[in-house]
Structures are given as C-alpha cells and as structure tokens.
Structure 1
Amino acid sequence: KACPNCCFCALFHFTVVPVILKALTYDEKRGSCSVGSNVRDAACYVCWAFARAYDPSELIPFINQISSALVIAAVFDRDVNCRRAASAAFQENVGRQGTFPHGIDILTAADYFAVGNRVNCYLTISVYIAGFPEYTQPMIDHLVNMKINHWDSVIRELSTKALHNLTPRAPEYMANVVLPRLLPLSVGTDLHTRHGAILACAEITHALCKLAEENNRSVTYYFNEKSLEGLKQIHQEVLAAICLFFFLYLSVCQFFFLTVCTLIEKLSLSKMPFRGDPIIGGWQWLINDSLRSLPLVSSTARQHIKESAVSALAALCNEYYINEKGEADPALQDELVTRYISGLQNTEEMIRCGFSLALGALPRFLLKGRLQQVLEGLKKATIISPEDVSFAQARRDALIAIAKVCQTVGVKGEGSQEEYVCKDNVTQIYATLLNGVTDYTTDSRGDVGGWVRKAAMTSLMEVTLLLVQNETELINANICKQIMCWLAQQAAEKIDKFRAHAGSVFLTLLHFDRPPVPHIPHREELERIFPRSETETLNWNASSEAFPRITQLLGLPTYQYYVLLGLSVSVGGLTETTVRKYSAQSLFEYMKKIQNDSSEMESFCETLLKVFEDNLRNDRVSVPLLTMLDQMLANGCFDIFTMQGNHPFPVKLFNLCKEEIKRSKDVRKLRSKSNLLSIRKTTASQVYEMLITYSDVVDPAIMDEVMTILSDTNWEAELTVVREKRNHLCDLMKVPKPQLVSKVKYGNVLLSFFLCNDQLFY
C-alpha cells in the first residue's frame, strides 16, 4: 500500500502546485483591459488556506516554489488588491508554517501597506528582497518572461527599471543569461515584447557598465563581441521598422522613437566603445528626427518623444563628440548649432519646441564661441508675432532653454559674451526672461500664456541664483526690483497653479541665503509678512491663505502698483469663486485699515488711477478693474474722497471710465460701467424689491409714500436733490441720517453717484 503522505505529495506536486503557480501570474488582455486579477486573487487565497490546512512538514517540498511565487505577486502584480492578497498569504504562511525563507525580514519590507505603492514595490522593495539568494533569480526570470512583454506599457517600463536595480544582485546572470535572451527579442515581431526588450537591454547594459566602472574594470568586462554587436544592431532594425510602419501605424513609430532614444541615452551613459563608429551618425540622425517628431501624433506623445530625444542628445554629445582637449570638432559644432538655431523659426510649433530644448541640452564645449548666437536665436523664439501668437509652448521651451544654457556655460563677469554669462549679456538675458512674464496669450485652450509666464518665473529664479552664487555684482538693483515686483503681481492673480508657482519663486528668492539675493526692495517688511518658518507651510493654492498675505504688500510703495494690477484681475473676476471672494475680502480689509490715513489713501488712489490709465482698453485688466471699482464703491472704500466736492480723484476716475467705454460694444464692459455709475439707482431698486418682499418692516401708513419716493425719484440727479429725498426717507423710516464730517463742503461734483452708497439705507 502507498504511504498516504506520498500520495498527497504526488497529488500536490503534480496537480495543485502547478495550477496555483500558474494562477498567481494569470493575466490576459481582452480589448482595452485585461482579465485575470480575480484569478490571481483567488490563488492568493488558496495559498493563505495552505497555511491553515496542512502541517508544516507536508509543505516543505513546495516551500521555495510557493514562497517565491507569493513574493513575486506581492511585489510585481499590476493590481494593488492582488499585491495585498499575496502579502497577506505570505504573512499567514510565515506565522503558521514558519518555514518560508527569510519570512520575517521580507514581511517587514513588504507588508500590507508597503505594497500599496506600485512604483515603490518595483524599484525599492524588490531590490531588498532580491538580496536573499532564494528569491533573486525567480524575480529576475519573472520580469523577463512575464513583465517586459506585458500589455500595459507602464508595467513594461517599470519592469525594465526594476531589472536595472536588480542587476548588481546578479551581474553574471544578467550578462550571460538574461542579456543574450533579450537581444533576439529586441528585434522580434511582437511590438510589446520588442518595446520591453529594448528598454531592458538599455537598462541592464547601463547597470552592468556602471558596476564595472565602480569596480575599476573595463566597461566591456561583462560583454562579449556578440553582445556588443547585438546592441548596435537594435538601431538598424528599428530604423527599418520605422520606414515600414511610418505611414501605416504612427503609434508604432512613436514607441520606436521613444524606445531607441532611451537606448541611445543609456548606451552613451554606459560609455560603450563606439567612438568613431558609423552607428553614432545613425543615432544623431534619429535624435534629430525625433526632435522634429511625428506630425500626426498627439501633442502629449510628441512632448515625451522630444524629452527623450533631448536626454539622448546630451548623453551622446558628452560621450562621443568631445576630444582629448575637451573641445568639439568645429565642423560638427557648426552643423549642430546652425541646424538647431535655424529650426527655432520653423513654421511648425513642435519643431521649435524640439530645437529649443536641444539647444538647452548642449554641453559647454559645443556652446563655446557660439553663446551669443544661441541666446539671440532663443530670444527671437520668445517674441510674439502675428504669425505665431498661439505658439505658447515654443516660447515656453525657449525660455527654459535660456536658463539651461546659462547654467551650462557658467558665469564670468569679465569674460567673453561668446563663452559666459557676463556683464555684456546679462542685461539682455534678463530682458528676455522678464518679457516672458508679460505673456497673457489666450486661445481655445485657455490662458496658454500662463505656460510661458511659469517658465519665465522659473528661469528668472535659476539665473538669479546662478549669479548670486558666482558673481552677485552682475545683479543690479533695477533688475532685482523688476523680478520681485512681477512675481508679486503673479502671486496676486486668479489662477491657482500660476499664483502658487509665483509665490514659491518669490519666497525662494527672498529667503535664499547662500549668499542672500541683493537689492530686494523692502526686505525686512517682506520677511515680517512672509517669515522663513512659514515658507513650506504657506499654501499659495488656497485663496484664503494667499490673499491676506499678498494684500499686505499694498502698503509697500515699490510693490503697490503690481499687486493692485494682479488683484484687479482676481477681485473683478467673471464668476463668483473662492479666489474672487477671498481676494475681495482681503482688499476691503486693507482699505478699512487705511481709511483714516489720508497719505496712504492718496497713494493708493493715485496708484489705482495709474493702473487704470496704463491698461485702458486692455480688456484683460480693464473689464475686471471696472467690476472691482464697483465693489470698492459699494463697500465705501472711497467715502473719504467722494464726500469732498473738490477732490480730483472722482473726476479723474470718471474721465477714465468714459474713455474706457467710448465706442465700445462689449456687453460685459458696458454692464460693469453701468453698475459703477449707477450705484444710488441700484441701491434704491434693491430697497424697493426688499420692501415688496418684506412689507412688514415699514409702517403700512407710510408704505405708499416710501415706495413712491423710491420709484419716482431720479437717483442720478444732482447731489442736492437726491440728498433731500434720501433724508426724507430716513425721517419716514426713522433711520439716522448720515452725518458729514465738519469742514467738508459739498459741491456739484460730476461723480455725485459716489455719495454714501451702501450707507444710504440700513
């Protein structure tokens, strides 16, 4: 008779275990999604049940298979539910069986909560677990066999990065087994497998070369001739595929461009011995073509292709285009720089983007002697012309490139403007960047100028910090004043993400201390308003936190004009939002504080008139400015002036309003002006509506007379007339009449509508 245990072992080994191991990795694509997660989850439950159902001695023959499969599922499964189910099953087996290798250590790193983050699982936890020899090879094999050909491109890319991180755990196995297995797959027919295999070859090669360098070995230590030729062959096969698929499957070509650019970058960073090889020319051609990108591919995909190509270009140039003297071949330098600068004026926006980013990625030895030419070309790409007004992305990338170029060439005050950022070109650089902060272009996509403004603010910060850390004297007071004022304006505007970015840059420059940024106006007051301790905690995205701080800058003369300009757009916004609510509330609170300070009020009103005058017929500012003025009048912000018949402010404001709407057909502008000039009439109308709704608030005996006065009076008549009617209403309703301050004379003012507005009725 057979031993019961032997029968169990045979059944378990030949029937149950293979099924469970297959189920733990089951995944099948159907259409745009996949099936299999429920199967994998059920398999984890079965493994969980094993721990409770069997004696530890009965599972010993299968421990390595089950433990490896559960670890792989816990770390590499696509779905978080399955990763957590595998972790729970592993935990149950560790607790009840006690035979899983390194169970406690692994469970500590890959517990229920740790496996919730997929990127962390692939790139961090996997490396730790692979440190235990029992799991190293199974994990690598799983990635190569099951994940680099996965239907989800995100999983394929994460798998290749995981292979990079796992390479130091088994370098010989990677070089002698995995890489030879991947090279044929990288030129195969299946698109997903080809994509993953090329990326895996790139990542493993980079990791092996880095490991060899760290151990003072030749970069080719882990490679034989066949492997090196196989790596070079990938490029040729991909070019053939691009030619085949270009007009049929643009999405396929997109994969190829992205993938091979990554391969070029990694092989260049690996310092592969290809200097002087014709393959370098082929790589350069593909990079240039990627910078131009595919015309019918989505803009997001094109941007990814360009970023990948730019990274590849930087690595290629640094490794293969520099000679022993640290210089570039003049002919090659001339060809690259001239090609990229000429592309900055291309009629295709995305081509401009690509070549701008390429110039920003060039190493110093390729920019040497051509810096001024590069800066001039990038400056032209930032200028708005009627033909390219909507090319906001190109202007954004040109501004980014300017900062990158400056960081690459470095600073030398007395140096040549063809080689360094110096006293001869720093003003031009700042002028270009500051001009970008004024880009308010809009189109069907919305405020596309915001992309340009954000890039300009970032570049201003990077260039300024570069100068501060090298030659502070190149920053003059006027430039610093302009930077801080423009940032203050952007920090007062209505779009949260741009306001937050401006606020972050503003505080970075204010609190930078290695060494401090010079010439910041009102530094002490700014540090009191924005203490260093709150730099990280202040939430610029929250209107309720940002505007109470930024409105305090209205009390600083240098910033007042710019902050008021930014607040005009926020307070007078088209719709009622939290931005409009808190910006208006903060502005009115500031106005209340200065009501009794005549000099502060005079300064504020002069600045307000200046903002209005500078932006006449600029609808982006003037229309919300009219709305803001309407709100300020309704809140009594200018009562101190409107009660004075001889004060010039109301007259100047009235004249500017007339000039703004002259011959205008803009309904929103006309309505804003109507509200602004008809506040007594509007107030009377609202009181009339209130009395109709709540008739019991007034004595019925006087109701008819009150209603008649409200409806029949010409509230836009002379001040003496309407004041008499108002006082009569106050007497009828037994409301205290507003009292004028002594020594204030009333006159026949053009803007009689400014009288006491919201204090007219109580």
Structure 2
Amino acid sequence: MMRARLMPADLYGDLGRLLAATLHFERRVLSRKLGGNVRDASCYVCWALFQAAALPAPLVRGLVADLVLLGCFDREVNLRRAASAAVQEAVGRQGLDSAEGVALVQTLDYFSVGNLPACFLEIAPAMVTLGAVPRDQLARHLLTRVLASWDPEVRRLGAQALVRALPGAEDRRHALAALTETAAAAADVDVWHGAALGQAALLAATADVPADLVATLAASAHVVPRHNKGARVDVLEALLALAAELLPHLPNRRLPAAFGDAFVEALGLADARLAPALRSLAAALDPADVDRAAWLDQLTSGRPGYAHALGEVLAADDSDAGAVLVAAVAGAADMAVRVAAMDALARVLARAADPAVAAGPTVHAALTGLADFTIDRVRGDIGSQLRLAAAAAVRGLPRSVVAALDADTVDDLCARLLRVAADKIDRLRTDAAAALDWIVPGLFPAVPAASLATIYAAHFGRLTGLLASGLSERQTAALWLGLASSMSAASSESVVRATRDAVGAYLPTLDPPALTALVDDTIGRMVVDGRIMLKTDSELLELVAFFFDDGSLPNPALDPALYVRVYNKVTKLYSAGTKTASARLLTACVAVYAGLVMAGHSKVAEMALKKLVGLLGSPISPVRQRAADALFLLVADVDSDGALAVVGDIEAADWQGPTYAGSAAAVGPAVLACFGY
C-alpha cells in the first residue's frame, strides 16, 4: 500500500509507533528466540514508508534512531544490513541529505555493518556523535535489550559498548546502580550474565564508586539465578570479571567467599573462554595471597586454568616455576595444559624488567611447541593449538631478546617456523610468517590472500630461490617438508606440478645423510603409536613416492636399513588400506613399492614386487590399474627373453573389467619369473 501511495497520511503516526515496537521485537519460546522475521519485515516497511511521501520530521528521526540501533546491535548480519538500507532510503528521500546524513550513510553502510564487533565498538559511538540516535536512548537500549540477549558474545560486546556510550562518571554510576538492581531481580541467567558483565565493565571505567554500592556488589555472587550445566562457564566468567574489577574497591582487598569459590572452580576447568577472566583476577590479587607452589602442583596435575593465572603472578626470575611451565609445554598429557603453559611463559616474559635475561624458558618452550604435530584420532591435529601459541610467543619476543639470540637458536626457530609457515591451517601460516619476519625480516614474505592452490604454488615456486638465499640446510628441509605434507589441502594440478619442480630442484642439493634424515622424519610421522590416520598418512606416503620418482634417494648399498624402514612402514599402511578399501592409500603404496623395486635392494625389492603383484587382484579398480601400470614399466626394463611377452600380457589384460582376477592369476607368476623369483 505504501509503495503504491495508498495509505492515508493520518495513519502514519500509528504506523510509526507500531514500527518502533516491531523493529526490536523478540520473544523467547523455551530455548529458542523468535522475532527475526518480524524485524526484517519492519525494516522493509520502513524502507517503503520513506519512499511513499514526505513524512513529519519527528517520525523520521524516531524511526531512523530505531533503525540505527537495529543496524548497530542486532545479532544477525542480514537484519543489520536491512536496517542500513532503510536508513539510506530515509537520508535520500526525507530531506536528511546534509553533511551529517551523508556521513551517517557512509558509516552505517552495507560492508561496515558486516563486522559485529565494529558495529558495537566503533559505529555505535559514531552514530551518537553524528546525532543519529540520542546517547540516553542508545544507553537504555544496551541496558534493557542488548545485555539481556540470548547470545553470550552479544552480551560481552554490549558490556564494552556500554562504557563507550557513557563517557561521564555520573552516568556510569547511575548505570551501575541500575544493573545492580537488574542482577538482583533477574530470574533468567542470560539477563544476570549480561548485567554482571556490564557491572564489571563499568567498575573498570569508574574511579569513585559509593561504598554501599560496593557492598551490594560484593554480596551479588550469592544471588546467581538457577542455571543448567551448559551455562556454568558463562556464570563463572561473569563472576571472575566482576571480582577482578571489584577487588580494588574493597577495603581489605579480600575476595568474598562466593567469589573465591568461583575462582577455585574456574581454575580447575579446561575452557578457553575463562582464560581472560582468570588472568584479570589473578593480576588483581595481592601477591602475598597467592600460594605459587600449590598452583604449580595443580598445573602439573593437569589443570590448565592454573597456568593462565600463573602467567600473571610469577616473577620472571623464578627459574623453578619457569622450569615447571617448560616441562608442562613439553610433556603434559592434556593439550589444553600445554597451550596454557606456553601462553603463561609468554606473559611472564612480557612483564619482565630485563627480558633478555629471562627469555630462556620462553624460547625453549616455543621451540618445543613449534615442533608439536600431535594427532588425535577423534579431534585431529590438536598439536596445531600449541604451534599457534608458540608462534604467537615468538612474535611477542621483545626486540632486545631477538637481538640477543645466538645463531644456532635463530637457525632452530627459523627452521621450525618455516615448517609451520607451510601448514594447511590459514591462521598458522599467517602467524608463523609474521613470527619469521620478526626474527629475520624479509626471510619469508607473506603471500597475498588467494586460493589455497595459488598460495601453495607460490610457496613451492619460491623454494628454489630460498635455496640460494642463505637459508641453512635444516631450514630448507623444514620448509620443504611442510609444503609437501600440506600439498593435498589445495587439490590442484598446478600444486602437484609445482611440487615435482621443487623436488627436482631441492633433493639433489642434499647429501645422503641429510636426505636420509628427511625420509626418516617423513616415515616417522606415519602410523604414530600404532594409529593410522588415513588422510594424513596418505599425504606422507605420497611424499615418499616423490623421493623415489626423483631418483635422489641414497644408494641402497650405502644405507640399506633406510629401505627396510620404508618397506616396513608402507606395509603397515598397505594392510590398513586393504582393510578400509582406501584407494588413495593403496595407490600411494603402489608408487612406493615400485620405487623400492627399482632401487635394487635385493630382499626389499623381492618383497615389494610380490606386494605389487598382489595388488593386481585388488577389488578397487584404480588400484589394480595403477599396479598394472607400475609393473608394465618395471618389466619393460628387464633384459630377459620372456619380459617382452609379459609386457604384452599386462597391456592386453582388461584390468577394469570383470575378468581382472583371471588376468592377475596369469600375469602375476610371469612377472615374478622375469625377476627370477
């Protein structure tokens, strides 16, 4: 009706009041929140209304203010963008096209509102400055709606935005009192959590808090609403944040019992969401109240929360505590403990008066963490968490520490960072490249954001140039290993070609011991602790096949044990591939077995050839075809009278059809006879 200009003008006022309510409509039904469709439709109605006719200025200003609040604080990006479009229509058609109106549209544009933290912390304050929404209306919306959101992340952002919305100390004290009343009366844990986070944020930004309000806040831990187990972490997070900001205002700087109990409970949990609150509260504690020895004992018992807290209370010259943290990084059973200990060492170093003297434990732990490639059968590459923490610790080393590192330590750090810089995980590649640039500027320039195929192709193409750029053999070996084992993430023929080019340029530069060490490192990461990871082990086996294809492996007469180790490991994978019918794993086995036959190690070659002959009868069509192709090439190189006939038999057989079993039974013994077996 409005787009057709059929709505009577005397109804615009009623419509405006209706829209003011529906733009923020939300209703909870059991565990679900409803209302997104209503808010979306309201934005569309506003957009059509602004097109219909010239509206009264108060109505336009009121609707624009509500739309701005929706565009800044709604959880859903599509609704924020719908509100942005309606505001743009109002500016263009309702006489708001002044300098402030243009700035409003540019600030609240389609792309800007896509970033939720920026909406809360940057765009919302700008809206107040531009006069698009009154400050008191924005603060009231935060207090009554945003801090009561069902989404914990929205509540966290809302608490930060509330401080920016209230620059005056008196306004903050009033808001603090209002939130205290809200928390005391809350029957919903979401409302209580938002109020508690708001209280903590306002306390941190308010210098003078009335004593009676401090006493009320100190008793607030006893009035937490009933909640289920899933909400317990949110409750503990709010209690810790509130306790950290409340502690400086307490007369004796002693935590009330309920807050202390929450602190002890949180220290024993392995939830990363609690880490910031634990650090804040630990930093606010009186050092005399901290039993460091007991905390270190708890850490060694597998409780990561204590590591987060220790990072704020340990002295940089406490060598015994540093040794405990380093040991936790290297050998704790729980990966969460290892990551937390790595973060704690980095934070201890950041607070050191003389970082160059205290850097040893952090650097040692970072070297350990960067080499952690632990694979969990259920969770996958859990070692990536520790590699990420270690790369961040290296990037956080003070410049004075970096300048004082000896050449061997720099070489070790660069080698391990180069390996991580070729990781499959985007954030790991980015952080490791930044850490490399911090240690040796310009060593490993970042590749611009692009597809994985482009990134890996660029890295492989750069490898040959790095060989002549002063990198040590250990560093280039680490980079090569990372690139090759990460290759399958791209699934691109261009990456495969680049890999082969890198093999041809790189492997001939290694002497036999270095090449042996590279192969041993590769096969050593297969079938770890008797567990087979099909995808990872297939990638590593394909890498070993590249070594054979290039012909760069040491002569079997120089290192016969290497070929035995390769055969034993690939045979374990052969058994796994047969049981799981993994075409990729068995195809990689074919390539390695063929390489072992060509290498000429007498006993290993015989066993590998028999495995290849057995694969002619594989029920997996691509596997038996690949085995037939490999045997065709091997037999063609044999100088014997019957070899030519066997080659013809292999070529004539239909390895894709139903007669493959008969062909395998006929061709197999003939192939073995050609080799004298």
TM range (shorter): 0.7 to 0.9
Counterpart position of 1:451: 385
Distance 1:276 1:287 in 2: 18
1:697-716 matches, within 5 Å, as: 715=635
Counterpart position of 1:467: 401
1:5-404 matches, within 5 Å, as: 15-56=14-55, 59-60=56-57, 62-98=59-95, 103-131=101-129, 135-168=134-167, 171-176=169-174, 178-188=175-185, 189-207=187-205, 209=206, 219-220=207-208, 223-238=209-224, 249-267=228-246, 272-279=248-255, 283-293=259-269, 302-314=271-283, 316-317=284-285, 321=286, 328-329=287-288, 332=289, 335-346=290-301, 349=302, 351=303, 353-362=304-313, 367=315, 371-384=318-331, 389=333, 391-404=334-347
Unaligned runs of 5+ in 2: 1-7, 529-536, 577-588, 600-608, 617-627, 649-670, 672-677
Given that 1:551 and 1:563 are in contact with CA atoms closer than 8 Å, whether structure 2 keeps it comes out as no
* Letter of the structure 2 residue corresponding to residue 483 of structure 1: L
The alpha-carbon deviation at position 608 of structure 1 amounts to 0.9
Given that 2:420 and 2:482 are in contact with CA atoms closer than 8 Å, whether structure 1 keeps it comes out as no
Residue 555 and residue 393 in structure 1: after superposition, are their counterparts in 2 closer, same or farther (change >3 A)? farther
Picking from 358, 380, 386, the partner of 1:421 is 358
Residue 652 and residue 619 in structure 1: after superposition, are their counterparts in 2 closer, same or farther (change >3 A)? farther
Secondary structure of 1:29 counterpart: strand
* Letter of the structure 1 residue corresponding to residue 597 of structure 2: S
1:540-689 matches, within 5 Å, as: 542-554=455-467, 559-561=472-474, 563-564=476-477, 567=480, 571=484, 578=490, 585-586=497-498, 588-590=500-502, 592=504, 601=508, 603-612=510-519, 619=526, 627-635=542-550, 637-638=551-552, 649-661=555-567, 666-668=572-574, 671=589, 673-679=592-598
Given that 2:339 and 2:389 are in contact with CA atoms closer than 8 Å, whether structure 1 keeps it comes out as yes
Secondary structure of 1:485 counterpart: helix
Residue 131 and residue 506 in structure 1: after superposition, are their counterparts in 2 closer, same or farther (change >3 A)? closer
CA shift digits 1:469-517 (9 cap, x unpaired): xxx44x22222222222333444566665455434422331118xxxxx
Distance 2:467 2:527 in 1: 21
Secondary structure of 2:134 counterpart: helix
Given that 2:433 and 2:446 are in contact with CA atoms closer than 8 Å, whether structure 1 keeps it comes out as no
* Letter of the structure 1 residue corresponding to residue 177 of structure 2: P
Residue 127 and residue 618 in structure 1: after superposition, are their counterparts in 2 closer, same or farther (change >3 A)? closer
* Match status 1:721 vs 2:639: yes
Distance 1:305 1:623 in 2: 38
* Letter of the structure 1 residue corresponding to residue 595 of structure 2: L
CA shift digits 1:83-128 (9 cap, x unpaired): 3443444444444443799645534433454434333332222212
* Letter of the structure 2 residue corresponding to residue 237 of structure 1: V
TM-score normalised by structure 1 residue count: 0.67
* Deviates most, 391-400 or 277-286: 277-286
Distance 2:485 2:594 in 1: 13
Residue 479 and residue 539 in structure 1: after superposition, are their counterparts in 2 closer, same or farther (change >3 A)? farther
The alpha-carbon deviation at position 342 of structure 1 amounts to 0.9
Residue 590 and residue 139 in structure 1: after superposition, are their counterparts in 2 closer, same or farther (change >3 A)? closer
Distance 2:634 2:77 in 1: 71
Distance 1:400 1:149 in 2: 32
Secondary structure of 1:674 counterpart: helix
Distance 1:182 1:45 in 2: 34
* Letter of the structure 2 residue corresponding to residue 185 of structure 1: T
Given that 1:561 and 1:611 are in contact with CA atoms closer than 8 Å, whether structure 2 keeps it comes out as no
Distance 1:602 1:651 in 2: 20
Counterpart position of 1:484: 414
Given that 1:554 and 1:563 are in contact with CA atoms closer than 8 Å, whether structure 2 keeps it comes out as yes
TM-score normalised by structure 2 residue count: 0.74
The alpha-carbon deviation at position 164 of structure 1 amounts to 1.2
Distance 2:358 2:560 in 1: 49
Distance 1:633 1:406 in 2: 46
* Deviates most, 481-490 or 601-610: 601-610
CA shift digits 1:723-760 (9 cap, x unpaired): 99689999xxxxxxxxxxxxxxxxxxxxxx9xxxxxxx
Distance 2:51 2:499 in 1: 68
CA shift digits 1:657-678 (9 cap, x unpaired): 1354469961439946522223
The alpha-carbon deviation at position 185 of structure 1 amounts to 1.0
Secondary structure of 1:443 counterpart: coil
Residue 277 and residue 249 in structure 1: after superposition, are their counterparts in 2 closer, same or farther (change >3 A)? same
Query: Quick one: percent identity of the two aligned structures?
Result: 21
The alpha-carbon deviation at position 11 of structure 1 amounts to 6.4
Distance 2:172 2:521 in 1: 67
Residue 77 and residue 511 in structure 1: after superposition, are their counterparts in 2 closer, same or farther (change >3 A)? same
The alpha-carbon deviation at position 140 of structure 1 amounts to 1.7
Residue 9 and residue 45 in structure 1: after superposition, are their counterparts in 2 closer, same or farther (change >3 A)? same
The alpha-carbon deviation at position 136 of structure 1 amounts to 1.6
The alpha-carbon deviation at position 569 of structure 1 amounts to 7.0
Residue 651 and residue 180 in structure 1: after superposition, are their counterparts in 2 closer, same or farther (change >3 A)? same
* Letter of the structure 2 residue corresponding to residue 634 of structure 1: D
Distance 1:458 1:726 in 2: 61
Distance 1:9 1:25 in 2: 24
Distance 1:261 1:205 in 2: 13
Given that 2:447 and 2:458 are in contact with CA atoms closer than 8 Å, whether structure 1 keeps it comes out as no
Distance 1:99 1:480 in 2: 60
Counterpart position of 2:653: none
CA shift digits 1:213-236 (9 cap, x unpaired): xxxxxx21xx43433333323234
Distance 2:575 2:223 in 1: 62
The alpha-carbon deviation at position 467 of structure 1 amounts to 0.8
| Coordinate RMSD, CA, aligned | 4.5
Given that 1:157 and 1:199 are in contact with CA atoms closer than 8 Å, whether structure 2 keeps it comes out as yes
Given that 1:310 and 1:361 are in contact with CA atoms closer than 8 Å, whether structure 2 keeps it comes out as yes
Residue 45 and residue 340 in structure 1: after superposition, are their counterparts in 2 closer, same or farther (change >3 A)? same
Given that 1:163 and 1:200 are in contact with CA atoms closer than 8 Å, whether structure 2 keeps it comes out as yes
CA shift digits 1:539-568 (9 cap, x unpaired): 796211222223544567963345436645
Given that 1:442 and 1:449 are in contact with CA atoms closer than 8 Å, whether structure 2 keeps it comes out as yes
The alpha-carbon deviation at position 412 of structure 1 amounts to 6.5
CA shift digits 1:593-636 (9 cap, x unpaired): 58xxxxx947444421343467776646999777545434435x
Secondary structure of 1:34 counterpart: strand
* Letter of the structure 1 residue corresponding to residue 639 of structure 2: V
Unaligned runs of 5+ in 1: 1-7, 210-218, 294-298, 322-327, 414-419, 513-526, 595-599, 642-647, 689-706, 731-752, 754-762
Distance 1:616 1:38 in 2: 55
Given that 2:184 and 2:223 are in contact with CA atoms closer than 8 Å, whether structure 1 keeps it comes out as yes
Given that 2:298 and 2:306 are in contact with CA atoms closer than 8 Å, whether structure 1 keeps it comes out as yes
* Letter of the structure 2 residue corresponding to residue 447 of structure 1: D
The alpha-carbon deviation at position 585 of structure 1 amounts to 3.8
The alpha-carbon deviation at position 291 of structure 1 amounts to 1.4
Counterpart position of 1:214: none
The alpha-carbon deviation at position 310 of structure 1 amounts to 1.9
Distance 2:319 2:32 in 1: 52
Residue 487 and residue 143 in structure 1: after superposition, are their counterparts in 2 closer, same or farther (change >3 A)? closer
